[in-house]
Structure 1
Amino acid sequence: MEMILTSEEKRIPRVLFTVILIMLVPFIISFQIFDNRGLLLPLVAGSYLILILLMLIAFYKGIGKHQYFTIIYFLIQLMPLFINSFKGIEINYQDYINIIAKSLNYFIFFGLILSIKIKKMQFKYFLRYFIYFSIIACIYNLISNFGDITNIGNITSGYEVTLKSFFVNKNQFGAFLFVSIIAFYYFLSGKKIKMLDVLILLLFIINLILTMSRGAILATIIFFIFFYLQHLKHIKLIAPIIIFLSITSLVILSSDRIITFIKNNIIRVDAGVTGRTEIWDMGMNIYVQNNFLNGVGYFTGLDLAKGQGFQFEEFHSLYIDTLVSGGIIELFFIFILLGYIFIHCITKCPEIGYKKIYLASFFGILALGIFESISFFTLGYVGTLFTVFYISIPLLLSKIDK
């Protein structure tokens, strides 16, 4: 179907895609082009200013509506820093930047979107941009890592290769591919499936498997399970899936080499959760020992952890990151927000296909949040990607015009 949209109608989907892309650019420049981490902060700051400007121009009609919760969210984040000052805990200056950015992003990606309606073709237009970019990322990954990929059958550990395209690490690329697969399912909803569509989906899945990012692979499997459970009555859809899975299982089970490869490099039973239990324990200790209700601020919490020998830059869990940042109060606030958006989308979205995809992806993202520091409203690429797809888009889908 040809997408006939006016220039004004194209502006919103273009802006949504641009704000995702523009927050990735600083990381590509800093880590891929110049390999200079010192460039990251000023580039992120510049990109974020452009993001704010673009979103305000695109969604200015929502200004002044439903914004009182922005103040509440700001106070929830400010409270731990206020308490820290009384307890003599040295506050990391980045926490002040963090709470301002998160409050602004809440205002922009939730508050402004609440009053906006879009057409189905506008959503498809956004998806087309995002899918084109995903295809480029996958092809670049295959070409730039061709040597490693051809030798992948000889590796003995999933840590011997890092297939990350132009992202910072393989887990970030894996999370991006998880979202790309969901975006592609949105795009295919109501569309007659062609061979090219199948090939694109296979391209995404193959790249996802090559990342060996277990969290993203698990989240994608959960998405597939919940999505196809909703289609058990549609035998024309389920039958090919069952046949494909059966053939794939037979091929895997018939080869000891394939089984060994999957066990050692993807499942990685011996590695457990790759040290995450120790990381999670440290995060929980910082949270419990300091402020159960309010947390201590994310970067201040990291400083406290590093004072006890912690050597990482995150706690590798959405839930623990949030507890350290703003305690049980902020985690409760985020859950209430996600629950509100979930109910809003499921009950009001007029497109049944979209609702089924969102429902399945919702369980996938909850699972991914256990193992990865995905985030909502934070400053940076990951925060922007998941905020757009799990805050803004479900709200837009709840009011989409067929």
Structure 2
Amino acid sequence: MLIVALTPILLVFGAESGAALTPLVAGAYSFQVFLLALYAFRARPLIPGRLVIVAIAYSLSLLIGVALGGRAHNQPYELADIANSILKPLGLLLYIGLFTGVKIRVEAVHDALKFLFYAGAVAVLFGLLRSGPDVVAVLLGGGSSYDANFSSFFGNRNQFGYFVFMALLAGFVCSARSVPLRFRRIIIGLLLAGLIFSMSRGALLASAILIMCLLIFRGRLWMAGALAVATSVAFLVGVRWLPHFGEFERLFLRPEAGLAGRDALWRYGVDVWIESPLFGVGGFRAITAAQNAGMEQTQFHSFYVESLASGGFIEISILLTCLIFPFAKALRVCLHQTDASTYVSGYVALFVLLSFESIGLFSAGYVDTIFTIVFVTIPYILFCQNPAPLAKFDTGSSRKTAKRRKSHGANG
């Protein structure tokens, strides 16, 4: 499914116009539905009745929101919102319900994560070959980081950054499984370089949180503390004394952009949500209403605001439950399982990222589909459908203890 989700953007790469992307994304989503339906026909999973009821209630609430949005603005209903009222609940059943009553091998899940890990490295390499020298020239020449569009074969640098962030998470999950240590370190270094070149502040922040949480979970408190202190000291020293810090500040921190206008976009979204707090007004209707009020962007740049404006309290409650449930399951065992500690770290980073970016779940978009698979489907399989112990938690102290025991046995 990851391959199918990436297919549309690969097919339209290099085209002058992205007009062909919409039908390709729709076709890829339809093919995904076909594959999942074929899997359901063969595996015959028993979808829980409670989940079916939630999906039906979700669909009805979205339809009510569409009706309220059209009536409030005296405009025809948005066909795309009507389609979403069917596709999103369908995605809920497909990406969660189909895997509820079927036992899936953990090794198969790790194979999918390894594919994502390697795909991230391929995306970074392609980006370096395609636009690496141009990005360096722009930055050294004093241009804006917005002009340095290091996006590989994705539509923009933020989408590329999110993909690399998920590839980094996948690499840490698979860190102890059939990926040679040196090779894994090279790929992780390559992914980090790609994040820096993308200059996607959201992806960089999420990846930094992921790494800091992993260091804490894996018993390297001194390393996490040292990294935090060193970063803070370097930042303060640079602000106070380094003459060229202004270049770094302009390129990466972009103080003139601040939240890049996101606070204003959030206000537009909240104003639309207040019209119908429980059901929302429909996602596309919300954007249209905000643009009529003066907003110039095509999204609210916040998952939380976007969900509230689109489907109100009902939608955001359902979507957050789909994320919090596997997060809570992983949190219960995160001190004993490397998979769980890694995913808990990833969820912490994700919850922060969702504050600043419009990322959808269960929708037909290719980036949204990958997020759904990585942060909903896979965690449900790992932590909700496979209660058997996974890889044991491995800290530096435990490895030293094992070495001492081995050495003592050899001497004995």
TM range (shorter): 0.7 to 0.9
The C-alpha deviation readout for 1:53-77, integer Å capped at 9, x for no partner, is: 1122234432543433221221221
Q: Residue 192 of structure 1: CA displacement?
A: 8.2
The C-alpha deviation readout for 1:60-111, integer Å capped at 9, x for no partner, is: 4325434332212212212212334554443211101112111111110011
Q: Is the 8 A contact 2:88 2:363 kept in 1?
A: yes
Aligned counterparts, 1:219-238, within 5 A:
219-232=206-219, 234=220
Match of 1:50 among 24, 31, 42: 31
Q: 1:249 to 1:210 in 2, by over 3 A?
A: farther
Q: Is the 8 A contact 1:24 1:380 kept in 2?
A: no
Aligned counterparts, 1:116-131, within 5 A:
116-131=102-117
Determine whether 1:23 maps to 2:24.
no
SS in 2 for 1:112: helix
Q: Is the 8 A contact 1:252 1:259 kept in 2?
A: no
The C-alpha deviation readout for 1:122-173, integer Å capped at 9, x for no partner, is: 1221122212211110100000003223323333421121110011111111
Distance 2:231 2:256 in 1: 28
Distance 1:94 1:121 in 2: 38
SS in 1 for 2:100: helix
Q: Is the 8 A contact 2:117 2:171 kept in 1?
A: yes
- What count of residue pairs does the alignment treat as equivalent? 379
- More displaced 10-residue stretch of structure 1: 294-303 or 58-67: 58-67
RMSD (Å) for aligned C-alpha atoms: 2.8
Distance 1:258 1:194 in 2: 37
Question: What is aligned with 2:45?
Answer: 62
Q: Residue 272 of structure 1: CA displacement?
A: 0.5
> Among the aligned pairs, what percent are the same residue?
25
SS in 2 for 1:135: helix
In the superposition, the TM-score normalised over structure 2's length comes to 0.84
Q: Which runs of 5+ in 2 are unaligned?
A: 391-412
Distance 2:224 2:296 in 1: 47
Question: What is aligned with 1:172?
Answer: 159
Q: Which runs of 5+ in 1 are unaligned?
A: 1-18
Question: What is aligned with 1:199?
Answer: 186
Q: 1:258 to 1:222 in 2, by over 3 A?
A: farther
Q: Is the 8 A contact 2:150 2:197 kept in 1?
A: yes
Q: Is the 8 A contact 1:153 1:261 kept in 2?
A: no
Question: What is aligned with 2:377?
Answer: 392
Determine whether 1:271 maps to 2:254.
no
Q: Is the 8 A contact 2:66 2:78 kept in 1?
A: no
Q: Is the 8 A contact 1:142 1:149 kept in 2?
A: no
Q: 1:268 to 1:112 in 2, by over 3 A?
A: same
Question: What is aligned with 2:400?
Answer: none
Question: What is aligned with 1:72?
Answer: 57
Q: 1:99 to 1:258 in 2, by over 3 A?
A: farther
Q: 1:326 to 1:47 in 2, by over 3 A?
A: same
The C-alpha deviation readout for 1:269-293, integer Å capped at 9, x for no partner, is: 22101111121111111111x2111
SS in 2 for 1:226: helix
Distance 1:134 1:296 in 2: 36
Determine whether 1:181 maps to 2:168.
yes
Structure of larger gyration radius: 2
Letter in 2 for 1:333: I
Question: What is aligned with 1:208?
Answer: 195
Q: Is the 8 A contact 1:280 1:320 kept in 2?
A: yes
Question: What is aligned with 2:19?
Answer: 38
Match of 2:324 among 309, 325, 339: 339
Distance 2:333 2:57 in 1: 26
- More displaced 10-residue stretch of structure 1: 106-115 or 343-352: 343-352
Q: Is the 8 A contact 1:252 1:258 kept in 2?
A: no
Question: What is aligned with 2:291?
Answer: 306
Question: What is aligned with 1:360?
Answer: 345
Distance 1:81 1:286 in 2: 13
Distance 2:176 2:285 in 1: 44
